[in-house]
Every structure is written in C-alpha cells, then in structure tokens.
Amino acid sequence: MSRLVTIDCHYVMPQLAASYLREEDGEVAFIEANTTLTVPRLLAALEKEGLSPQAVKYVIVTHVHLDHAGGASALMAACPNATLLAHPRAARHLIDPAKLVASAKHVYGEEAFEHLYGVISPIDAAKVRALDDGAEVTLGSATLRFLHTRGHANHHFVVHDVAQEVVYTGDAFGLTYPSLQRAGRFSYPSTSPTDFDGEAALASVRRITDLKPRAVGLTHFGLFEDVQVIADQLIRWLEVATARAHEGAKSGDDQGTMEQRFKWQLEQDFEVEASRAGLSLTDADRKLIRFDLELNAQGLALAALKQRG
C-alpha cells in the first residue's frame, strides 16, 4: 500500500504546523516531528491508519528548529526500529541537544519552553544518520531523495518523494496558512534569524520548482498543487527582502533601528500582497502573522549585520 497523510500537530493552534505520515509497502516514515507534546497525536494518526510504531523505519526532520525537530527524541523512543534522518549540520544537535535547549530556554524562559516543547532528550548516535546533498533512501519500493536547501537555515534539507511526486519543504518554500487562503493564494517566506540568506533562499525555491513536483508538502501548512503560483509569490517577496538586507548593510544603522524599519516595511508588504491576492486582512489574520513578521524583521537585520562583516 502507498499512502500519504497530513497530520495537524496543533502546535499553538490548529493548522499552524504539520507532520507527514508516509507509508509504502508497510514501511513508514514521519516527516517532521514537531514537539514532544505532539508525539501522542502522531502515534494516534499511525494507529488510525492501522500501523504500529514498529513499522516506522524513519523519522525525518528538515532542520532542528523546535517546531520541526523538538519531538524527535520522544518519537524515536516510541518507534524502536526507526532511524533519524537529518542534515549533517543538524545531526549533532539531535544527538546532543544541550546547546539547542539552552538557547531556546534563554529566548522563551524555562516555563514557556516547557509549555511549548516539553522535554527534549539526547538521541543515540547509532540511531542517527546524516544525509549529504542528493542522498537517497528507500521506503518500501519508494525512493526518498534529500536536497540541501540553504536560505532559511544552513542545516536545512527538503525531501523529494519521487513516487508521490511531492517535495516536503520544511521552511524552504515559505508559509501558506490555510486560514489565509480565503481568496487567492497567499504565501510568504520565512526570513527568520539567524541564517537568512536571500540569494540562497531564492536558489532553494528554484531548486524545488525545477523538480516539477505534483505538490509541495509545507510544514506550515499542508499539501498544495499550485507550486509555481506559490514560487512566484515567494520569489517576489525574497527579491525585495534581499534588496532590503543589502540596503541595511550599507546604512550604518544599528540592529534595533533596522528591525523597526524592516518591521514597518513588512507590515506594508503584507497589506499590499494580501490585496493582490484578493484578501482583506482581519484582526485575527494580523495576529496570526505578527510572530512571523517580527521574526522576519529580525532575520533581515541580522543578515544585514553579517554582510557588513
């Protein structure tokens, strides 16, 4: 049997983050692990499909940001036959997550961290496999191919599911929240800190579209078949973002000043792009995108500072 199931992780709210359950010939892969608190939901989806944790061959994380990989250790513990697949730069942080956890606790605070992410434990190095660019693994009779895609994070890859003609894109192909799709398509990139690189992000979008997939599976959120429409929107956003980071690098402004300017500019961009898509933003919409807006502004400011050297 061949099947692909989109699982709503209910991270913070419904339809914000997804995990994908992929089964071929009785072998299973989870693509994205979300958080420790989500793992019971992932296992329930597995049971609903009539599959057991013993059938899970792979747990795959596109990168180690905690809304993608925070649940990896708990999911691996529940799936005794699974191997964790990760980018070479990500693997070490999954084997020893101490720095990752300490950094997140510094940002969120201890109480908020535990509320969002629960406990993140080390994973046995023997159960972790780092995959080079272009590496392939088999899932039953299907092939999964891994392509390194910088721009959002330096330790990011996407997964090309050849049989399904789907690319699971992590954060390399932007954010397309279902609640914002009331009119035309409304997608935008994640330019969040600390690794945003505009040129690399553009190259990653084009690398994904060059595969000519039937659909893209976005972590944020869901499967979409109008791949080129989304790509065109992301390219327009990223070209503007890249130019702004260059301008910021030349400005001499400090990080705080740049963040405020970029945030104001992004607020205007959201209104313009929403209008272009036929979408009238509500207060609920603006609340939904506020966190991304703030992170994107921070990412642009840090990119500008890095360009100064």
Rounded Cα distance, 115 and 270, in Å? 30
Domain boundaries, the chain: 2-164, 237-308
Q: Please, are residues 191 and 171 in contact by the beta-carbon 8 Å criterion? A: no
Range in 48-57, 97-106, 124-133, 172-181 with the lowest mean pLDDT: 97-106
Amino acid sitting at position 5? V
Supply the pLDDT for residue 221.
98
Q: Please, are residues 39 and 71 in contact by the beta-carbon 8 Å criterion? A: yes
How do residues 62-101 score in pLDDT, each as one tens digit?
A: 999 999 999 999 999 999 999 999 999 999 999 999 998 8
Range in 65-79, 100-114, 193-207, 241-255 with the lowest mean pLDDT: 100-114
Q: Please, are residues 89 and 61 in contact by the beta-carbon 8 Å criterion? A: no
Mean model confidence pLDDT for the chain:
95
The mean pLDDT value for 4-33 works out to: 97
Percent above pLDDT 70 for the chain: 100
Supply the pLDDT for residue 230.
98
The mean pLDDT value for 177-196 works out to: 95
The mean pLDDT value for 214-231 works out to: 98
Q: Please, are residues 3 and 49 in contact by the beta-carbon 8 Å criterion? A: yes
Q: Which tokens sit at 100? A: 């990752």
pTM of the predicted protein model: 0.95
Task: Give me the residues paired with residue 5 across strands.
Answer: 21
Supply the pLDDT for residue 188.
97
The mean pLDDT value for 145-151 works out to: 98
Whose tokens are 């434990």? That residue is 121
Supply the pLDDT for residue 37.
95
Rounded Cα distance, 296 and 300, in Å? 6
Rounded Cα distance, 167 and 22, in Å? 12
What is the distance, to the nearest Å, from the Cα of residue 121 to the centroid of all Cα atoms in its chain? 21
Reference 135, options 180, 173, 83, 66; nearest CA is: 83
Residue 309 has pLDDT above 80, yes or no: no
- The correct CATH number of 2-164 out of 3.30.365.10, 3.30.1360.120, 3.40.50.800, 3.60.15.10 is 3.60.15.10
Pairing of strands 83-86, 56-60: parallel
